[in-house]
Amino acid sequence: MAHDLFEAARDAMKFAHAPYSKFPVGAAIRADDGRIYTGANIENLSFPQGWCAEPTAIGCMIMGGGKKIVEMAVIAEKLALCPPCGGCRQKISEFASADTKIYLCDEVGVQKIMTMDELLPLSFKTDILG
């Protein structure tokens, strides 16, 4: 089941706008509506005004009607098993549960599976704060 997310993330990475870092990243979310939403990083010369692949995919999910992340794949062209950055981990946790699976990929597929809780064990909890 994760293979389709890997392929979607890999395909999304082709749309990255990374002229400054030269570090394309793609992400794919399977949402609670069963659909797959994708995103790529989009840089801007005025750092840090660009955004990562993961929030791009989250924005697509929300605008497409999805509410929750069921599972997610992330791939970077130049770094195998690239995890989401710290800020993205908190953004993902807003729409995920502690046991949501995050697939870290290389050029051939999913190579590591982590839960959201493993990636961000002390996240802000929306049920407490909001």
Q: Which residues are catalytic?
A: 54
Residue-by-residue DSSP string for 73-88: EEEESSSTTPPPPHHH
Q: Is 92 exposed, middle or buried (0-12, 13-18, 19+ CB in 10 A)?
A: buried
